[in-house]
Chain A
Amino acid sequence: MIRFDSVTKTYPKQNRPALRDVTLEIEKGEFVFLVGSSGSGKSTFLRLILREERTDTGLVHVLGKDLARLSNWKVPHMRRQLGTVFQDFRLLPNKTVAENVAFALEVIGKPRGTIRKTVPEVLDLVGLAGKEDRMPGELSGGEQQRVAIARAFVNRPMLLIADEPTGNLDPQTSVGIMRLLDRINRTGTTVVMATHDQNIVDQMRKRVIELEKGRLVRDQSRGVYGYQH
């Protein structure tokens, strides 16, 4: 599903590499936590998977494709097989819940009939049935993140990337979001989630990958957040 081979990435005008010689593999259907302090390289790791950035050296394979050899115009098609969720939700404030989810399908040219059918389905899945016509501003943080997850999942992606999806949410709400991600994972979708939330990582007991100053320092199945925190 995802393979990193000796990946090094340095941003321009910075001495220290954001990622240094990272090698790992994530299999289909896995649920992986990506932990590490700020600046450890978590975001760079995710951006490389999304091909927002390219590696300096080393190879990144996502969904069986070598991203270095993927031409620019094919990148959108690659991203359609990925779902992404962020800490700040990234919803369109002037569109309703249903429109926000439908937007993801409209811009990739899905027919109207498909959109009308799948949007209610996925909203039902994330537990937002009946709130289709609400505006994001009227929803709680947890509900907004559910909209974002619905949008990420509406295209039934093979891989879901979540960058601190519970970062803005209280612990109770976070648990709800994690249950939802777990359910999505059980449908066969691979989930890679960067997080700072110790409780969640410790409770879920999933594979944990820890980065520190750009290096891979721990890769543990059924791991916990860490000892030093």
Chain B
Amino acid sequence: MRAHFVLSEIGVGLRRNLTMTFAVIISVALSLALTGGALLVNKQVDAMKGYWYDKVEVTIYMCNKSDAASTPNCARGAVTDDQKASILKDLRAQPIVEKVYFENSEQAYKHYQEQFKSSSLASTITPDQMQENYRVKLKDPTKFAIVASLFEGHPGVQSVVDQRDTLKNLFGLLNGMTTVAWVVLAFMLTVAMLLIVNTVRVSAFSRRRETGIMRLVGASSFYIQMPFIMEAAFAGLVGAGLACVMLLGGRYFMIDAGLRLQEKIPLVSFLGWGPVVRELPLVLGIGLVMPAVAAFVALRRYLKV
């Protein structure tokens, strides 16, 4: 197949259908930006959950040296080995407790560093500042209050924290937003598909004389269909390129500049550029393949070969 010939056919087709091509580009761009955005929000939520979030419900933090001054529960100093053993014994005795993990300060430090590796907070923390703790998995996650009342005030315990409580509302909001994004995305994707089908239909109609002659002289169906599919793929690729720009721009303006979320909420470890950039090949791939498939399906109906 002669590339020059095919390319000139594509150029002619796209220019003839300029408004339609723009509509395809914009709708592909928007739907892919939404896809990428929703995936990134999911990644952000995962990043914020940290090491223990999906594994346990309750964390029992024990006193360390530096808590002695600041926390009344720990007035008698850091937790002793006897106290730790007694807490573990009591936990094991509870029928609602399914599993108990012990995390020493080194491990706690490691998990903390992983979660906040891109934040300036990570470098100011030292391992001995991290509290030793028991991570507790409950048979029934709603029974948090029972555990809390049993172990708050236990000697050596600094605090009992419902692991999910702090982030529950935020995650609820983010997940809600993601769901809305997926619904909007489904509509956008449908619109994009219909636009592509219609563009191909118009394109096939306006070139029916050429394709008729091609058929007559024995051009293969692949050769006849190729320009249409490449047109759709090209428009899709341009749209995907725009979507990539929107994703990068979106991250920049929400986290670094504009909204300056990183500055305002330093406690949250926001996604770096890495995850955003890693998303782009997927976006470009979808942008290339999806319109091509839509065009191919449309051609089966609107172009006789």
Residue A186 is within 8 A (CB to CB) of chain B in the complex = no
The answer to whether A104 and B213 touch across the interface, beta carbons within 8 angstroms, is yes
Residue of B nearest to A84 (CB): B216
- Would you give the 0/1 interface string for B222-247, flagging 1 where the beta carbon is closer than 8 Å to chain A? 01100000000000000000000000
**Residue from the list A72, A79, A81, A109 in contact with B215, Cβ < 8 A:** A79
Residue of B2, B209, B220 touching A76 (CB-CB under 8 A):
B220
Smallest Cβ distance from B226 to chain A, in angstroms? 10
Question: Smallest Cβ distance from A92 to chain B, in angstroms?
Answer: 6
Nearest residue, chain A, Cβ from B304: A52
> Which A residues are in CB contact (< 8 Å) with B217?
79-80, 103-104, 107-108, 151, 155
The residue on A at minimum CB distance from B210 is A92
Interface string of A93-115 (1 = CB under 8 A from B): 00000000001101111001000
Contacts of B94 in A (CB 8 A): none
| Number of residues from B at the complex interface, CB < 8 A | 17
Q: Are B216 and A109 in contact (CB under 8 A)?
A: no
Check if A79 sits within 8 Å of B213, measured CB to CB: no
Report whether B5 and A80 are in contact in the complex, using a CB–CB cutoff of 8 Å.
no
Check: B258 CB closer than 8 A to any chain A CB: no
Cα A90 to Cα B5 with chains together (Å): 20
Complex interface bits, B38-51 against A, C-beta within 8 A gives 1, otherwise 0: 00000000000000
Give which listed residue, A78, A90, A155, contacts B209 with CB less than 8 A: A90
Residue of A76, A81, A151 near B219 (CB, 8 A) is A76
Judged by a CB distance under 8 angstroms, whether A73 is at the interface is yes
Cβ of A69 within 8 Å of any chain B Cβ, yes or no, is no
Query: What does DSSP make chain B's interface, helix, strand, loop or mixed?
Result: helix
CA distance A81 to B224 in the complex (A): 18
Nearest CB in chain A to that of B219: its residue: A107
Assess whether A112 is in contact with B219, with CB atoms less than 8 Å apart. Answer: no
Interface residue tally for chain A (C-beta within 8 Å): 21
Q: Looking across the interface, which residue of chain A has its beta carbon closest to that of B216? A: A84
CA–CA, A76 and B215, complex, Å: 7
For the complex, give the distance between the alpha carbons of A78 and B218 in Å.
7
| Closest Cβ–Cβ distance, residue A113 to chain B (whole Å) | 12
- Identify the closest chain B residue to A91 (Cβ): B213
**Chain A residues in 8 Å Cβ range of B212:** 90
The answer to whether B220 and A90 touch across the interface, beta carbons within 8 angstroms, is no
Pairwise interchain contact A108-B219, C-beta atoms closer than 8 A: yes
Q: Give complex CA distance A108, B214 in Å.
A: 8
B225 smallest CB distance to A (angstroms): 12
Query: How far apart are the CA atoms of A82 and B5 in the complex, in Å?
Result: 23
Indicate if the CB atoms of B218 and A109 lie closer than 8 Å.
no
Task: Indicate whether B86 reaches chain A with its CB closer than 8 angstroms.
Answer: no
Most chain-A CB neighbours within 10 Å: which of B214, B216, B223? B216
A19 to chain B, nearest CB (A): 21
In the assembled complex, the CB of A131 is this many whole angstroms from the nearest CB of chain B, namely 20
The answer to whether B1 has its CB under 8 Å from any CB of chain A is yes
Q: When the two chains form their complex, are residues B218 and A80 in contact, meaning their CB atoms are under 8 A apart?
A: yes
- Evaluate contact between B221 and A73: CB separation under 8 angstroms: yes
In-complex Cβ contact of B223 among A90, A104, A107, A155 (8 A): A107
Query: By CB atoms of chain B within 10 A, which of A72, A76, A81, A151 has the most?
Result: A76
Asked if A77 CB lies within 8 Å of chain B CBs, one says yes
CA distance A106 to B218 in the complex (A): 11
- Report B298 CB to chain A, min CB distance, Å: 18
How far is the CB of A110 from the nearest CB of chain B, in Å? 9
> A109 and B2: CB pair below 8 A?
yes
With a cutoff of 8 Å between Cβ atoms, the chain A residues found around residue B2 in the complex are 106, 109, 112
- Are A108 and B218 neighbours in the complex by a CB distance under 8 Å? yes
Q: How far is the CB of A52 from chain B (nearest CB, A)?
A: 9
Q: Which of B88-133 contact A (CB under 8 A)?
A: none
Chain B residues whose CB sits within 8 angstroms of the CB of A103 once the complex forms: 213, 217
| Structural contact, B221 and A90, CB atoms closer than 8 A | no
By the criterion CB–CB under 8 Å, are B218 and A79 in contact?
A: yes
B209 touches A92 (CB 8 A): yes
Q: Is the CB of A76 within 8 A of B1?
A: no
CA separation between A129 and B218, bound complex, in Å?
Answer: 26
A109-158 interface (Cβ within 8 A of B): 109, 112, 151, 155
A76 to B212, CA, bound (A): 12
* Closest CB in chain B relative to A149 CB, distance in Å: 13
Given contacts A90-B209, A109-B223, contact A79 B5 (CB under 8 A): no
Residues A90 and B216 in contact, CB atoms below 8 Å apart: yes
CB distance from A105 to the nearest CB of B (A): 8
Rounded to whole angstroms, the CA-CA distance of A9 and B224 in the bound complex is 28
Closest 5 CB pairs of A and B: A80-B218, A79-B218, A107-B219, A104-B217, A76-B218
B residues sitting closer than 8 Å to A (CB atoms) are 1-2, 5, 209-210, 212-221, 223-224
**Besides A79-B215, A104-B217, A108-B219, 5 other CB < 8 A contacts?**
A82-B218, A92-B213, A112-B2, A151-B217, A155-B217
A-B contact pairs, 11 of them (CB 8 A): A73-B220, A79-B216, A81-B218, A92-B209, A92-B210, A104-B213, A107-B5, A108-B218, A108-B219, A108-B223, A155-B218
